[in-house]
Amino acid sequence: MSSGTAVGVGDVISALLSRISEAVIIADEAGCVLHISRTASEMLRWGGSPTAAALAAALCSEGDTWRGTLPVGNGNEKTVVLHKNRDRPGIILASLAEDGEAPGETGVDPLTGLPNRAIFLDRLHQSILGASRSKKSVAMLLVGVDRLAIVNDALGFGAGDRLLAELAGRLNQCVRATDAVTRLDGDHFGLALVISSLTDSVLVAEKVFHAVAKPFLIDGRELFITVSIGIGLYPADAGNQGDLIKKSESALRYAKSSGRNQYKFVSNDMNARARHRLELESRLRRALIQKEFLVYYQPKVDVESSMVVGMEALVRWKDPEQGMISPVDFIPIAEETGLIIGIGHFVLAEACRQNVQWLAEGLPHLKVSVNVSVRQLRSRTLVDEIGIVLRTSGLPAEMLELEITESMLVDNVDATLATLRAIRDLGVGLSIDDFGTGYSSLSYLSQLPITTMKIDRAFVSDVESNGKAAEIARAIIGLSKGLKLDVIAEGAETLAHIDFLREHGCALVQGFYYSRPLPPKEFAELVRRGPIVRDA
Ligand code: C2E
Ligand code: MG
Ligand code: MG
């Protein structure tokens, strides 16, 4: 029935195609031209059988887009882009455009007002260069309109064009000003984003679906469309902009063949990861609302007296289906999605509240340490938030300390310094967590308004087996003395670790040797029992 359909309405189609301004071709599945619009035939200056043969090959080529040169009349050649649509079985509907910038154009796609393909490619290239310098990634989102042909058929190409122009505006709203958007050809739009994680590209893809879901008002009618998105990543999927676009084209085909109205990454591994992340994200969101987070406390112990002198508050997630989930598995995602702000606030408020309650119950003064993530440190409201939590809980500022990892101190040095100073001005202590794993310089360190250095557990666990680790642990202890800072070691698991640390002048220790992180009740009982005695 394939060509039968076309022939049956052939006269109508021919009449139509002679009147529209678009360059379109209708061919059968072998690439044999059934109808060609006047504009298309003028463009090709219909060069007879050489043109027909080359065109057939182009029409039947893999993929939705073909770019190349076609022999045209009078022995000339023309570089063109063919955008193919195979939505109807047995028929190839193609639109034809001259490739490259049209003469006299200023880098703008006249239909949509977006930067044209050439400008986009250049910006994509720049993004790739920038990303490789800053160890980031670039995501190329190729957005294809699902079944634009239906709109074109029902309302004419003019309506289709107006829809594309409106869509272009909406897509432009989905990205930051520094990201690039273009109409690559026909009904394909390209979005190039510099991203720091897979999640960033997922978030933008979802924004696009959201933007497209609203009806399009075209010629007085409300139209609903869907799009499919193929996402290619640099450097994971491709090493240059040309390959990146090709990869995103194949991901787009995958999205379309999987049922349209969805996004797909190039690799299955990425698709699985994106799915897992999204799932985890929505569970995390729910967890925050349904109060599934708990705070455990791990004692900080004075090695000489074996008395608990403080504790680190460590968040735990009790998922109703999966049980206890470790913070190492969800903090990074909470960080990427911004959920860490809510979780971090909960831990801070709860740790302060708990500590005040313990004081009231007669426990000694203990300093509680709360971990702060990058996102929290960057937030403008962190300092105010700490102030409010201290006031509402009634916890004296000296009984609170914040732990910040060394790696968080490297970026935004000035802003970070200002925040840290403001926190110190409140009277709250500041500890550098995982010390020895970051890259802070000594001169920078000496400027930081910190009170404590916390030796990373990697060095502690290796003090016996690895001379270098022992040397680093010793050096950090020496450094803290020199800078007049407190020092604490984390991850002490054995008596040998404790002995080493005591001998080298590290008076405070946190680790499984004394205790694992405990639920509040058990922690209070441990403190009440007095010195922590371990069997030899
Ligand atoms: P961290 O701040 O360095 O916390 C110390 C981690 O070392 C804790 O893991 C603790 O249970 C573990 N640990 C303590 N002693 C030992 C030991 O002797 N041996 C070994 N192998 N491990 C020990 P946890 O509770 O799984 O937390 C992991 C990380 O998750 C924390 O590392 C911290 O970076 C993050 N985290 C935990 N709670 C929070 C929170 O409330 N907010 C933020 N932003 N991050 C948190
Ligand atoms: Mg910590
Ligand atoms: Mg640590």
3-class secondary structure per residue, 89-145: CCEEEEEEEECCCCCCCCCECCCCCCECHHHHHHHHHHHHHHHHHCCCEEEEEEEEE
What digits encode the pLDDT tens for the residues 42-81?
788 776 777 888 889 999 988 888 888 888 766 677 888 8
CA–CA gap between residue 521 and residue 403 (Å, rounded): 23
Query: Which residues lie closer than 8 Å to 372 by C-beta, 6 or more apart?
Result: 344, 382, 402, 403, 404
Q: How high is the mean pLDDT of the chain?
A: 90
**Is the separation of the CB atoms in 433 and 454 below 8 Å?**
yes
Query: Does residue 326 have its Cβ closer than 6 Å to ligand 1?
Result: yes
What pLDDT does 153 receive? 86
| CB of residue 436 inside a 6 A radius of ligand 1 | no
Q: Which atom of ligand 1 is nearest to the CA of 347?
A: 41
* Chain-centre distance for alpha carbon 160: 33
Tokens of 237: 């999927």
Name the residue at shortest CA distance from atom 5 of ligand 1.
490
State yes or no: pLDDT of 447 exceeds 90.
no
Percent of the chain past pLDDT 90, that is, above it, reads 61
Distance 334 CA to ligand 1 centre (A): 15
Ligand 1 pocket, residue 344 CB under 6 Å: yes
Question: Distance from first CA to last CA of the chain, Å, rounded?
Answer: 87
Domains with residue ranges and CATH for the chain: 2-98 (3.30.450.20), 117-266 (3.30.70.270), 278-528 (3.20.20.450)
Q: Is the C-beta atom of 371 inside 6 A of ligand 1?
A: yes
Q: Write down the pLDDT at residue 5.
A: 45
Any ligand 1 atom below 6 A from CB of 456: no
Q: Report how far residue 498's alpha carbon sits from residue 482's, in angstroms, rounded to the nearest whole number.
A: 22
* Residue 23 predicted with pLDDT over 90: no
440: CA distance to ligand 1 center in Å? 21
Q: Which ligand sits closest to the CA of 327?
A: 1
What is the DSSP secondary-structure string of 497-510? HHHHHHHTT--EEE
Atom of ligand 1 nearest to the CA of 493: 18
For residue 340, the ligand 1 atom closest to its alpha carbon is 44
Crossing angle of helices 268-289/339-360, nearest 10°?
A: 40
Of the candidate ranges 115-119, 387-391, 483-487, 489-493, the one whose mean pLDDT is the lowest: 115-119
pLDDT in tens, 401-415: 999 998 888 778 889
Q: pLDDT tens digits for 502-530?
A: 999 999 999 999 999 999 999 999 999 99
CB atoms within 10 A of CB 1: 8
- pLDDT tens digits, one per residue of 81-116: 888 888 888 889 888 888 764 444 568 888 898 998
Confidence of residue 4 (pLDDT cuts 50, 70, 90): very low
Pocket test of ligand 1: the residue of 284, 298, 301, 314 to mutate, having most ligand atoms within 8 Å of its CB, is 314
Residue with CA at minimum distance from ligand 1 atom 35: 327
Predicted pLDDT at 152: 87
The alpha carbon of 456 and the centre of ligand 2 are apart by a number of angstroms equal to 9
Q: Is ligand 1 within 6 A of the CB of residue 299?
A: no
pLDDT of residue 210 exceeding 70, the answer is: yes
Tokens of 118: 């050439």
Provide the pLDDT confidence category of residue 382 given band limits of 50, 70 and 90.
very high
- Residue 467 scores a pLDDT above 60: yes
- 278-330: pLDDT as tens digits: 888 889 999 999 999 999 999 999 999 999 999 999 999 999 988 999 999 89
Whether 458 shows a pLDDT value over 60: the answer reads yes
**Across-strand partners of 91?**
28
Distance CA 23, CA 361 (A): 82
Integer Cα distance of 20 and 67 in angstroms: 23
Q: Where are the beta strands (DSSP E) in 1-52?
A: 24-28, 33-36
**DSSP 8-class letter at 37:** -
| Ligand 1 pocket, residue 93 CB under 6 Å | no
| Mutate-to-test residue for ligand 1 from 297, 331, 372, 514, highest number of ligand atoms within 8 A of CB | 331
CA–CA distance, 487 with 510 (Å, rounded to integer) = 11
Nearest CA-CA partner of 131 in 239, 53, 37: 239
